[in-house]
Structure 1
Amino acid sequence: MKIAVFDTYVRRADGRRMHFDILVSEQGDRTVPQTVLEYGHRYLAAKGIPADSLTTRECRFCHVETASPQVEAEIKRIGFAIIELEHCD
């Protein structure tokens, strides 16, 4: 499965900048930025982090790659996957 990777940054209340990737099916959600932002909001809500600052300026298409089996399974299950990169704890 080919996936679109959206590089995403959000400023936390403690001042640290979260960095994570939102991964979606390349054929579907890549052309629908609002859907990708909704996935980002769901992820942040699950972490208890307000998502008011998450817009298309903080979440941008980066590239297309081949999904690992784990990422592919997660996208099939819930529509997206997240790769946590910095300050996501």
Structure 2
Amino acid sequence: MKVSFWDTYVQRKDGRRMHFDILVPINLKEPKIVFGFGNEYLKNKSIENHALTTKECRFCHIEDTSEELTEAIDKKGYAIIEMENCD
């Protein structure tokens, strides 16, 4: 499955910068929906009161993805790939 990768960086309160990708179906082009997925992820990480904008989250590229990530996208509409400081 080809998906869109949205490169996302968030400054944490502890000074570290989180880096993660939000993966969505290629036909989803509305940034506000992608930001909503990112905000849901951040809330699950106990990083609240942070509204994503184009400053933190931008479309990066389209790529084929694994079966596991495809299943996650089919199930909840998106998937997250944690890159840096997401613990």
What is the aligned-residue identity percentage? 52
Compared with structure 1, are the counterparts of its residues 15 and 53 closer, same or farther at alpha carbon in structure 2 (3 Å cutoff)? Answer: farther
Instruction: State the partner residue of 1:6.
Output: 6
Map 1:15-34 → 2, pairs under 5 A: 15-27=15-27, 29=28, 31-34=29-32
Q: 1:26 Cα shift?
A: 0.6
Q: 1:51 Cα shift?
A: 4.5
Instruction: State the partner residue of 1:67.
Output: 65
Deviations 1:9-66 (A, max 9, x none): 0000101000000000012x2x100000000000000000024252111100000000
Can you give the 5+ residue segments of structure 1 that lack an aligned partner in the other structure?
Answer: none
Contact residue 10 and residue 53 of structure 1 kept, 8 A: no
Can you give the 5+ residue segments of structure 2 that lack an aligned partner in the other structure?
Answer: none
Contact residue 39 and residue 51 of structure 2 kept, 8 A: no
Instruction: State the partner residue of 1:39.
Output: 37
Instruction: State the partner residue of 1:86.
Output: 84
Q: How far apart, CA to CA, are the structure 2 residues paired with 1:34 and 1:2?
A: 20
Amino acid paired to 2:13? A
Alignment root-mean-square deviation, CA: 0.9
How many residues align structurally?
87
TM-score, normalised relative to structure 1: 0.94
